Amino acid sequence: MAHEPLLPPESLARYADAIVDASLGIGEGDSLVVQGVDVVTADPLVMRARLLHGADDAIGSLSPWSRRRWREVAGPRGALAAIIGEGEAGYLDGVPPERIATDYSRMAKHLAFLRRAQLNMRARWTIAAWPTDHWAGQVYPKLKPLTAKRRLAGDLLRFCRLTDEDGKGTSGWTKHLRTLDRRSARLTKLGLARLELRGPGTELDVGFVTGTRWLGGPETLVDGQTVASNMPTEEVFTSPHPRATSGTFRCTFPLSFRGRLIHGLRGEFSNGRLVRLEADSDDDRDFVAAYIDTDRMGRRLGEVALVDVSSRIGQTGRIYYNTLLDENAAAHIAFGSGFGGTRSETPARGLNRSVTHLDVMIGSPELEATGVNARGRRIPLIREGAWRI
């Protein structure tokens, strides 16, 4: 059967250019690994079979050739373009949680060098999305499969500012990145000591170390190269002190995580640590807890990100069942690892160095974000869902 393209050739070329040129800055002589639906690395059903039926020593294993490949990605001429799309729902249902946790823990140790390179602004990487049959059917359940995939592909172009209305080539994407960069610079200049987040079910106070930077849009690596690690992106974000968060949160979006759709995730922090975690289903709560308990810092925050109602993703009013898109529809927090680029000193002080990272969405049109500087001055950042700076 002939392959049915989801986008016109010129639109697909524009999307590819935005990944390779505008987001990764690939040049002559560079090595690029494109990670997609590849049974060697990323097929969820192969993962399920390995976890259910593999020997204990196969759990979390990494072959020597695969390790060499990832070493190349983490090197000065390497780059990673991860093309993601949601797989079949429930692909890890029935797998013992301890085997899932062991698999992640061992793999995280094998690839710790890559994670460090990414978080410390030494590796070029970007995550982009592309429709799969299952994912498009989730987002557009009333449409025929091919129509749903085409509709989702069109959404991705709009979210990345790559339509004809956004300008020629990748100009709309790069202009949007500059807007986020300017906003993050303004937040950094405020010198915030604390952030207060108030919304439905959320009353969080998040503390920062002195000299904390906010990031958004393009990121400058230690070698001077500029990358954009998420396509699309709407957020400005930073890493709080891992011991300085208190209060409660409630997710405003279902969390799509490892083939599960988790509803009603909520919890409470004390002295920076998550001391209470709940979900509508106890089984879902335990599933999330098994992941964040991979190491001792997994219950502390590594990221807080602000997104306002101007987000094209948020304006659709649609849940996309994919963290890359849903986290750029609304403000969010993330358990686990922080980002070295948010610190003005090396080595980074007061940074969560967990091997985990899990984003959960807490934003809504009712969200209010207030910054408090070292002198105690309160600065409205977001009111009625919209930026005030």
Domain-wise residue ranges, the chain: 9-165, 191-387
Mean pLDDT of the chain, nearest integer: 91
* Residues 11, 162 contacting (CB under 8 angstroms): yes
Query: What is 169-194 written as a DSSP string?
Result: TTHHHHHHHHHHHHHHHHHHHHTEEE
pLDDT score for 347: 65
How many angstroms separate the first and last alpha carbons of the chain? 53
pLDDT at residue 160, rounded to an integer: 98
Q: Which CATH number fits domain 9-165: 3.40.630.30, 3.40.50.2300, 3.40.1830.10, 3.20.20.70?
A: 3.40.1830.10
pLDDT-based confidence at residue 42 (cuts at 50, 70, 90): low
For position 313, what pLDDT does the model report?
98
pLDDT value at 1 more than 70? no
pTM: 0.90
Distance (Å) of CA 144 to CA 147, 235, 310:
5, 32, 30
Q: Is the per-residue pLDDT at 47 higher than 80?
A: yes
Q: Given phi > 0 = left and psi -120 to 50 = alpha, else beta, which region is 272?
A: left
Which H helix or E strand runs over 49?
A: helix 44-53
- At 40 the three-state DSSP class reads coil
The pLDDT of 285-305, averaged and rounded, is 95
Q: How much of the chain, in percent, has pLDDT values that exceed 70?
A: 96
Residue % of the chain over a pLDDT of 90: 66
CA separation for the pair 255, 285 (Å, rounded): 11
